[in-house]
Amino acid sequence: MIEIAILDDYQKVALDMADWLSLSDRANVRVFSDTITDFEQLVARLKPFHVLCVMRERTPLHGDLLRRLPNLKMIASTGPVNASIDTETTKELGITVVHTGYDSTPTIEMSWAMIMALARNIIGEVNSVRNGGWQQKVGVGLRGKTLGILGLGHVGGGVARIGQAFGMEVIAWSQNLTPEKAQANGAIWVPKPELFERSDFLSIHMILSMRTKGLVNAEALALMKPTSYLINMSRGPVIDDQALINVLRARKIAGAGLDVFDIEPLPVDHPFRSLDNVIATPHIGYVSQELYKIFYSDCVRNIGEWLDKNANN
């Protein structure tokens, strides 16, 4: 029997999202809902398994870890790419890596949930009502405001189109963006400094790479207006963590909506958990029933096909 580990099932729903029983005559499936950061403990947990089903980048599979897992034959990753898997080492060790389908819609929707929550102080108002209070602040309307998009790909383009529906002016920049590509998504290309200077709401949708790590630094943040909001639904390291904490504490921007962080889960003593001008959510931009069903159903199919192919090996 093949031993399969489903990792980082935070909500304990993986077995309900796909037909794992279809593998039961050939494999044993075990689910883990916690994330282990201690290296030796992680090695001990994963060592018995032939197949790892990983949810995005929640547990990075670096080369030093992969080399300590002699039984590992396959990694079934959710999403079309996973930068936290050392693919050079998997090739070296002969470990098969497969991916699943994806849908940008949940992240686009969550981006707008974050923008609306910031604009209308929804978290503060809800907490006020729960604590026996009433209205706290005057909200900010979206019509006529400037929406800045840093990264106009599938997610950024979807966010931009909804911004148009709200009557916002949409501007955009990224390293490879051209005025023509921006216009095709209903946005106006602007230089990077102008993006930060003009945006009332600046929404980040960048793939993490060496070029984008720390792209939103102290210099860029200093260009933003004290009435502007920053939203990050992409990856935490795109922003210089300390630089953002500094401008939030100094009230040099109005606030931030953050769904991604340098370290996940976010440390319990991190300032993003306590700053009153931050809405922090636990990387749930893509977390929806519909996308989970795509992820886990594709994982089951991929594992089944791999078992079929290797039945006589």
- Write the CATH number for 86: 3.40.50.720
Catalytic residues: 235, 264, 283
Helix, strand, or coil (residue 4)? strand
Structural domain for 45, as ranges: 2-99+289-309
- Considering the chain, what percentage of its residues have pLDDT values greater than 70? 99
Q: Are residues 49 and 89 in the same domain?
A: yes
CA distances from 33 to 7, 9, 58, 267 (A): 7, 4, 11, 17
Query: 26 Cβ partners below 8 Å, 6+ apart?
Result: 1, 2, 307
Q: Are residues 141 and 264 in the same domain?
A: yes
**Conformational region of residue 132, where left means phi above 0, alpha means psi within -120 to 50, and beta covers everything else:** left
pLDDT mean over 144-165: 97
Split into its structural domains, the chain has a count of 2
Q: Are residues 39 and 145 in the same domain?
A: no
User: How does pLDDT run across 49-100, given as a tens digit for each residue?
Assistant: 999 999 999 999 999 999 999 999 999 999 999 999 999 999 999 999 999 9
Q: Are residues 31 and 165 in the same domain?
A: no
pLDDT at 274: 96
Q: Are residues 193 and 178 in the same domain?
A: yes
User: How does pLDDT run across 223-280, given as a tens digit for each residue?
Assistant: 999 999 999 999 999 999 999 999 999 999 999 999 999 999 999 999 999 999 999 9
Contact, 242 vs 262, CB < 8 A? Answer: no
pLDDT at 312: 62
Cα–Cα distance measured from residue 140 to residue 149, given in angstroms and rounded to the nearest whole number: 19
- Considering the chain, what percentage of its residues have pLDDT values greater than 90? 97
Q: Are residues 85 and 194 in the same domain?
A: no
Retrieve residue 248's tokens. 């939030």
Cα–Cα distance measured from residue 306 to residue 313, given in angstroms and rounded to the nearest whole number: 11
Task: Look up residue 284 and give its amino acid.
Answer: I
pLDDT above 70 for 14: yes
Instruction: Quickly tell me which residue has 């929806």 as its tokens.
Output: 288
Cα–Cα distance measured from residue 127 to residue 133, given in angstroms and rounded to the nearest whole number: 8
Mean pLDDT over the full length of the chain: 96
Contact, 282 vs 265, CB < 8 A? Answer: yes
Q: Are residues 216 and 123 in the same domain?
A: yes
SS (H, E, C) 10-27: CCCCHHHCCCHHHHCCCE
User: How does pLDDT run across 17-41, given as a tens digit for each residue?
Assistant: 999 999 999 999 999 999 998 999 9
Q: Are residues 158 and 203 in the same domain?
A: yes
